[in-house]
Amino acid sequence: MIRQNEQIQITGVGVVSACGNTLQEFFTSLLIGGNYEKNIDFGNCVKFSYNKGILAEMPPFQAEERVTDLGSLALKRAYEDWQGNIESYSKTVCIIGSGMGMADELKNHVDEPAFYLSSLAGKITRYAGLNCESIYIGNACVSGSQAVSLGIDLLESGYCDLVFAGGVDCLSLMAYAGFNRLNAIDRSSCRPFDKNRAGISVGEGAVFFVLEKKNASEEAKVQNKSYATILSASVTNDAYHIVRMDPNGTEILRAMEETTYKAGIEKKDIDTVIAHGTGTILNDKTELKILHDFFGEYRKEICVMSVKGAIGHTGGAAGSFNILTAIGCIQYGKVPRTSNTRELDEDCCVPVVYGTGINRQVKTVMANTFAFGGTNIILLLRGHG
Amino acid sequence: MINMGVRCLHYTSYKDLNNCGIHFKDGRIMDDFSKMTVATAKALYEKALGSEIKPHRFGIVLATKTGNYDSVRGFHKVLSKDGASAINPSLFPNVMLSTPLCYVAKELKATGFTIPLFIDKGYDQALRIAAVVFKLDKCDAIIVLYTEEKQKCFGLFLESEEFLLKREKNARFYISTNIN
Instruction: Point out the residue among A110, A158, A239 whose CB comes nearest to the CB of B110.
Output: A239
Contacts of A312 (CB under 8 A, 6+ apart): A18, A36, A37, A190, A200, A201, A202, A203, A204
What is the amino acid identity at position A142?
V
Q: What integer pLDDT is reported at residue A385 of this predicted model?
A: 65
Tally of residues, chain B: 180
Q: Considering the entire predicted model, what is its pTM?
A: 0.95
pLDDT digits (tens, 9 = 90+) for A323-369: 999 999 999 999 999 999 999 999 899 999 999 999 999 999 999 99
Q: Using DSSP, how many helices (H) and how many strands (E) does chain A show? A: 10, 12
CA distances to A48, A273, A275, B63, B162 from A356, rounded to whole Å, are 38, 16, 17, 44, 53
A194/A223 Cα distance (integer angstroms): 42
Asked if A138 has any chain B CB less than 8 Å from its own CB, the reply is: yes
Predicted complex ipTM exceeds 0.95: yes
Spatial separation of the C-alpha atoms in residues A356 and B23, rounded to whole Å: 54
Of all residues in chain A, the percent with pLDDT exceeding 70 is: 91
Contact partners, residue A187, CB within 8 Å, separation at least 6: A55, A198
Q: Do B96 and A140 touch (CB under 8 A)?
A: yes
What single DSSP character describes residue B22?
Answer: P
- Indicate the residue of A146, A236, A373 with minimum beta-carbon distance to B102: A373
Of B79, B102, B118, the CB nearest to A138: B118
Where residue A347 falls (left for φ over 0; alpha for ψ -120 to 50; beta otherwise) is alpha
Q: Which residues of A touch B103 (CB under 8 A)?
A: 242
Q: What share of chain A has pLDDT > 90, as a percent?
A: 77
A276 Cβ neighbours under 8 A, 6+ residues apart: A141, A283, A287, A306, A318, A322, A368, A369, A370
* Cβ A15 vs Cβ A74: under 8 Å: yes
Q: Is the pLDDT of residue A55 over 50?
A: no
Interface test with B, best of A54, A95, A120, A157 (most B CBs within 10 A): A157
- Give me the residue from A54, A106, A117 closest to B83, CB to CB: A54
**Where are the extended beta strands (E) located within B14-166?**
58-64, 114-118, 141-148, 152-160
Q: What is the pLDDT of residue A41?
A: 41
What pLDDT, on the 0 to 100 scale, is given for residue A229?
96
- CA-CA-CA-CA torsion sign (B94, B99, B104, B109): negative
Question: pLDDT class for A147, splitting at 50, 70, 90?
Answer: very high
Q: A180 contacts in B (CB within 8 Å)?
A: 84, 87
Measured in angstroms, the CA of B79 and the nearest CA of chain A are apart by 8
**Residue B25, number of CB atoms within 10 A of its CB:** 11
- pLDDT category at A112 given cuts 50, 70, 90 is confident
The stretch A256-283 carries a mean pLDDT of 97
pLDDT at A43: 37
Pair B5, B48: CB distance under 8 Å? no
Q: Check residue A60 and give its pLDDT.
A: 55
A vs B, Cβ pairs < 8 A, gives 196
Structure confidence at residue A339 (pLDDT): 92
pLDDT in tens, A201-253: 888 899 999 999 988 777 777 777 899 999 999 999 999 999 999 999 999 99
Whether B86 contacts chain A with CB within 8 A: yes
**Per-residue pLDDT tens for A189-206?**
899 999 999 999 888 899
Q: What is the mean pLDDT of residues A259-284?
A: 97
User: Is residue A264 less than 8 Å (CB to CB) from chain B?
Assistant: no
> Which whole number is the average pLDDT over A106-134?
91
Q: Which residues of chain B have pLDDT under 50?
A: none
Q: pLDDT band for position A36 (50/70/90)?
A: low
Chain A residues touching residue B109 (CB < 8 angstroms): 239
If you average pLDDT over residues A120-145, what whole number do you get?
97
Note the pLDDT of residue A39. Answer: 45
Q: Given CB atoms, is A56 within the 8 Å cutoff of chain B?
A: no
Scanning B24-63 for CB atoms below 8 A from A yields 26, 55-56, 60
Contact: B98, A53; criterion CB under 8 Å: no
Residue B10: predicted pLDDT:
96
What does the mean pLDDT of chain A come to?
Answer: 90
Answer yes or no: are the C-beta atoms of A89 and A211 closer than 8 Å. Answer: no
Nearest residue to A310 (alpha-carbon basis) of A228, A224, A191: A191
What's the burial of A339, exposed, middle or buried (CB within 10 Å: 0-12/13-18/19+)? buried
pLDDT for the residue A2: 47
Per-residue confidence band for A45, with pLDDT thresholds at 50, 70 and 90? very low
Q: What is the mean pLDDT of residues A156-184?
A: 93
- Across the interface, whether the CB atoms of A156 and B136 are under 8 A apart is answered yes
The pLDDT of residue A197 is 96
Residue B79, SS3 per DSSP:
helix
Find which of B115, B124, B136, B149 to mutate to test the A interface (most A CBs within 10 Å of its CB).
Answer: B115
User: Cα A291 vs. chain centroid, distance in angstroms?
Assistant: 18
User: Is the pLDDT score of A33 beyond 80?
Assistant: no
Q: What does the pLDDT read at residue A35?
A: 57
Residue B80 pLDDT: 86
CA distance A195 to chain B (A): 26
